[in-house]
Structure 1
Amino acid sequence: MNKRRLISFDWALKRLLRSKANHEILEGFLSELLKEDIEILEILEGEGNREHARDKSNRVDMKVRNQKQEVILIEVQYEREFDYLQRILFGTAKAITEHLSKSERYENVIKVISVNILYFDLGHGEDYIYHGKTQFRGIHYHDELRLSHKQQKLFGKQYPHQLYPEYYLLKIDRFDDIARDPLDEWVYFLKNQEIKEEFRARGLKKAKEVLDIMNLPEEEQGFYDWHMEEMRYQASMIHSSFVDGQMEGEKKGMEKEKLEMAGIMKQAGEPMEKIVQYTRLTPQEIEKLVR
């Protein structure tokens, strides 16, 4: 049976998943990730939510309601950049300030969850999904700080980390392609652009229908093919820059060794011909060195 070609998730974020008719897909993904029912209330318009076909921004900000009827802000980003940990910190801080008017009290600061789908090796670690949150622990007794009874009553939370931003890092390239649970089924799709027949995770059935590339209009298919070629080009450029940097570093290291050897040989009174033979430097380069 031939595999159906599915649209990559970053393209879907920019072009398809903002539509209310397709919210079921993102709701399914977020529900499996956060282990609770998530309902999208609205996709927020802003600088990070641009839709132009050639725009490299792959981010969606949305206001959602969880099963506890709490309204929170979720950012979903798909990126290949390397300056990333600082960027997500800045992004959550910006989201908080943008959704708090100057006259509002700080108790109205909105909860932010940053979901980051990563296609590069961000840091070192064995896992492929990481969860980060801010906890306050005692230096002497190692207990976690809890909110006061008054704060718990006011905010409906026990701990500060429940009020602070949380971060999810999905390191897609670390996934071993073995789907052990519904969330893994989503990660498999994010990595391989394929949804297997036996997958049952929330949102994937709808995704399989909506993200079939054959359902795109011909012009849209052209934009998509251009987009994928651009992604491959960017990945190639990153790899080439890394390799070129390594080679340049090795070359500079060899040149430095040659110059050091020439200096030692010159101080030892070795003749110019011998220094040239051993170091492959020119007489002019050697003369400059010992001046």
Structure 2
Amino acid sequence: MRALGADEPPRYVSVLGSRYQLAVPLKHDSWAATAIYADETGERITCKFGRTQSVLGIPMSWLGRLLARREAGFLRRLERIEFLPKDLGPVTAGGRVLPNAIARTYVDGNPFRDPPEDRGAFFVDLRRLVAEIHADAVAYVDLHKRENIIVDPAGRPYLIDFQVCLATGDRWPYNGRLMRFLVGKLQEMDDYHVNKHYARCMADLLSPEEIRRLKTPPGFISAHRSFAVPLRSLRRRLLVALKVRAQGGRAETEFEPEDAFRNPGSGSELLGVSRPHLRVIPADQSEAKRQPGATP
């Protein structure tokens, strides 16, 4: 069920001509493995490695390549927008470019569990950020996951994880009526999820009627939930039965994976990160689980 199977993210990668060492594995689920890397000066980047593991003998490396290409493309398309990570170009490990991997600038901050002290300013910034993404004819799609919103030290929102975005394009079918309709509906869904987060965080300042209005989903979302929720529950039960996931576990942050167990460890103060489930790789640790071909 893990994206890289029994392998782990490579110990060393090269990005933009600089060499980075694995510092903190963040997440390894069925879609991708994500980790923080650091160079000798302490500069951090985030690398994501898309799926290479087959499923029941069916090759799936094409999916990892596709999702990496999509995410890098959206980061480049939206690079003019502040408060989004920037694509850093190809990732090389073991002397070869990894087509299933992307590298992006590291976003310093904490996943959005609770709003920062200035809640009003935070949501003004979040709405403006989503509006700028929509102005580029892009739907973010994944805003229901609070772990995709990072709150920086100044209390400002960043968005990460762009692999499931959808956008219109210059050529058919991406500029056709159906695509424009789909992107528009998904942008409505983005706005709804921002409103839902707002209602949850500002409940003490809102009337019951306002909360109910903000939390009422558009009709197409209600229709989607009628079949998506049972499928998601079935998937969770399957992952628990396969011992891939803890009973009742959920993804709350980028640091707490949805689908993978993580060995708790100490030393997570490296890179200034302090999280109970982060495991920092010591310099002398065996590389037995290194991704194939990812040699120093």
TM-score, normalisation: structure 1: 0.24
Give 1 or 2 for the bigger CA radius of gyration: 1
